[in-house]
Structure 1
Amino acid sequence: MPLHPQIAQVIANLPAPPEGSLDPAAMRAGEEAQVAPVEERLPLHAVEDTTAGDVPVRIYTPVDADSYGLLVYFHGGAFFLGSLDTHDHVARSLAKETGLKVVSVGYRRAPEAAFPAGLQDCLGVVRWVAEHGGALKWDGSTLALAGDSSGGTFVAAVAAMAHDEGFDRITHQVLFYPSLDLDFDVDRYASLRENAEGYGVETAGLKPFNAFYVDSGADPADPLVSPIKREDLTGLPPALIVTAEFDPMRDEGELYGARLNEAGVHAKVSRHAGANHGFVQNFSWIPEYQKVFEETAEFLHSAPGK
C-alpha cells in the first residue's frame, strides 16, 4: 500500500532541514517544545521521576495492583536526541496496553557522553530494576526490554551484554524499527535505496545523524554498536521486531529477526504497511498504528516461543 495519507500530509508540510552542520542543542530544544503538557497526557495510576543509581528514570504504574511485570524502555533519537519527556507518551501507552510497570531510562547521550556511556546506563538500570524488585512490586516473572529506533539498537545490545555477563532475567525484547547496522553503505540493504527519499527519515541523513555517536567512539563494526554483526545469537531473549514499510532501515530489522530464528531464538517480525520510520512515536494517534501497543502486549503476555 502507499504511505498512509495522514503521514504523507505531515511529511509534505515539514520544513526544509537547516543548512550546515547539525546543532544538538537546538534540535533538542525543538523536540522539547513539542511535548504536550502533563494535563493532556494519557492518565495512569502513578508516574514517578526518580533515579536508578545516577541514571534518571521515570516509572509508570498503569493501575493499582499487588504486583506487576516490568518493562524497561529505551527512547530513540539517533543516540543524541530524545528524552524522558519526548517519549513520555510512548511509555504511557506501553504501560496502559501491556499492564506492566514501565521504567523509562534517561540515559546519557552523544556527543557529550562518549560510547559506551548510554549502553552502560541502560544495562545498569536493568540490573537495578531486578535488584529493586521488591520496591517495584515485581511479580518475578516478566522483565522485558523495549525501545524505538536507536533505543531498539540499545535493546539488542543490552540483551546481548546481559547474556554475555550471565544475567538471565530478561524475558522479552521489543524493537520498534531498530537501527541495527551503522554501516550505512546504501547497497547493503534494498530498503536503503527503495525508501531513500520522501518518507521523513532519509538514507542520506542516516550517517550525519549518527555521526555524534560514531565520533564518540562507537565503531560500526562492533556488535554492540551494530547488533546485526553479532555472530552468535543463541540464548538471547525472544524478540518482537516491528518494522515500517517505508523505512530505510526496514530490511536490517527483518534480517535480524530471521537470524534470531535461525539461531533458535523465537522472533516475530511485524511489518506495518503504510508506515514510516518513527511511526510509533509520531503517528500512534492513527488508529491502525495505535494497535502496535496491543501487539506488544500480546507478545509480552505470551509464553516464550509462542
Structure 2
Amino acid sequence: MTAIHPDVQALLDLIREAGSPPLDALPPEQGRRAYLAGRRSLQPPPDPVALVRDLGVPTPAGPVPLRLYRGAGTAPDAVLPCLLYLHGGGWVLGSIESHDWVCRRLANLTGACVASVEYRLAPEHPFPAAVEDAAAALAFVAREAEGLAVDPARLAVGGDSAGGNLAAVLALMGRDGSAPASVLQVLLYPAVDLAMTGESYERVTRDMPLTAATMRYFVDHYTPDARDRTDWRASPLRAASLAGAPPALVLTCGHDPLCDEGRLYAHRLEREGVPVTALHLSDQTHGILTMSRIVRASAGVLAFVASGLRDAWGTAG
C-alpha cells in the first residue's frame, strides 16, 4: 500500500468518527442528501464571482439546468472562454449545488466562464440520459455564445469522476462532429471503463471515500443493462480510436479504484497522438477537489487545472 497523505488520513478519521454508512448502503435519494451535506461540510465558503446565472437548456426530455459563473473582475460584456463542467457523483449523486465551490474557484482562477450542468441522474434516468444532457448543454453554450458572452472557439469540457467520464465522451463527440469541438478536456479522476477491470479495483476495497463496492453500486444504477458498459459513450477507454481528440489534462489519485483506468486512458491518448498533461498524486484519494476544507492539496490542483485551461485558451499570464 502506498503512503497516505496526512490530510487524507485526517479525512478518513473524520469519516470513521462520524459513523456514516457508505453511499452504496443508501437508497439513491438518501445518498444524494448525504452526498450534498458532505460536500457542503468539507468545502470552504464559496468564492464571490462577477456573475451567477441560472438557465435551462431545452431538450426533448425537458429543460436541463445550467448555471453560468463569470470570474471575479470580468466585465459584463467581455467575451470569455468557457469551461463546460460536469459534476461527479457516480451518475447517481451530485448536482450544481454540490460542485458550486469548485466551479466558482475555477471561474475566478481562470478569469473565464464556467457552465455547470445538472444532467439527469440514474437510476431514474440510466445511460445514455446523462450523455444526452451533457451534449445538449455543450451545444446550447456554443449556439447561444453571443448572448452568453462566451467565445465558441474557446470551449473546454471537464469534470470529476462521473463528470470526467462525460467530458471524455464529449471530447470524442466533438472530434467526430456530433458535438461542438473543445480545445481541452479536463478529466479529474475520471471513470473511463465501466467493466471495472483495473487492478486498483482490487486494491481499494475499504476505508476510502470511494471503493470498488461503491463503484459497482454506481455502475449498476447507471448501466443496468450490462451490454451498455462496452459502448464507448459509457466507457470511452473502449473507443476504437482516441486519435484526433483535443488535448487532455488528466488527474489520477493513488488511493482510488479509478486510478489505473485513468492512467491507462492518459497513456493511450498520448500513444495515439493527443497532447496530454498527466498529474498523478499517489498519496491522495478520490474526491479531494470537493473536500478542500480538509485536503489542502485540492486548492493547488485547481490552480494547476486553471493554468492548463488558460494555456489552452491563450490567456495564460
Taking structure 2 as the reference length, the TM-score comes to 0.87
Give the C-alpha shift of residue 254 in structure 1.
Answer: 0.7
Aligned residues: 301
Which ranges of structure 1 fall in alignment gaps of 5 or more residues? none
Question: Judging changes above 3 Å, is the alpha-carbon distance between structure 1 residues 216 and 190 closer, same or farther for their aligned structure 2 residues?
Answer: closer
Question: Judging changes above 3 Å, is the alpha-carbon distance between structure 1 residues 239 and 180 closer, same or farther for their aligned structure 2 residues?
Answer: same
Of residues 81, 101, 107 in structure 2, which corresponds to 1:95? 107
Following superposition of structure 1 onto structure 2, how do residues 175-190 of structure 1 map, counting pairs within 5 Å? 175-184=187-196, 188-190=197-199
Q: Determine if contact 2:126/2:221 at 8 Å carries over to the other structure.
A: no
Instruction: Describe the SS at the equivalent of 1:159.
Output: helix
Instruction: Describe the SS at the equivalent of 2:257.
Output: coil
**Structure 2 equivalent of residue 78 of structure 1:** 90
Question: C-alpha distance in 1, partners of 2:24/2:279?
Answer: 37
Of residues 280, 301, 305 in structure 2, which corresponds to 1:292? 301
**Structure 2 equivalent of residue 203 of structure 1:** 212
Question: C-alpha distance in 2, partners of 1:108/1:189?
Answer: 27
**Structure 2 equivalent of residue 55 of structure 1:** 64
**Structure 1 equivalent of residue 273 of structure 2:** 264
Give the C-alpha shift of residue 294 in structure 1.
Answer: 1.5
Of residues 135, 140, 148 in structure 2, which corresponds to 1:123? 135
Question: C-alpha distance in 1, partners of 2:293/2:192?
Answer: 22
Q: Determine if contact 1:155/1:173 at 8 Å carries over to the other structure.
A: yes
Q: Determine if contact 1:98/1:293 at 8 Å carries over to the other structure.
A: no
Q: Determine if contact 1:181/1:225 at 8 Å carries over to the other structure.
A: yes
Question: Judging changes above 3 Å, is the alpha-carbon distance between structure 1 residues 216 and 139 closer, same or farther for their aligned structure 2 residues?
Answer: same
Which ranges of structure 2 fall in alignment gaps of 5 or more residues? none
**Structure 1 equivalent of residue 10 of structure 2:** 9
Give the C-alpha shift of residue 129 in structure 1.
Answer: 0.5
Q: Determine if contact 2:24/2:214 at 8 Å carries over to the other structure.
A: no
Matched, 1:227 2:239: no
Question: C-alpha distance in 2, partners of 1:21/1:253?
Answer: 26
Of residues 127, 132, 155 in structure 2, which corresponds to 1:143? 155
Q: Which amino acid in structure 1 is aligned with residue 238 of structure 2?
A: K
Q: Which amino acid in structure 2 is aligned with residue 2 of structure 1?
A: A
Question: C-alpha distance in 2, partners of 1:84/1:94?
Answer: 14
Of residues 29, 51, 54 in structure 2, which corresponds to 1:46? 51
Q: Which amino acid in structure 2 is aligned with residue 245 of structure 1?
A: G
Question: Runs ≥4 in structure 1, deviation > 4 angstroms?
Answer: 18-21, 34-37
Q: Determine if contact 1:77/1:149 at 8 Å carries over to the other structure.
A: yes
Taking structure 1 as the reference length, the TM-score comes to 0.90
Identity score, percent: 33
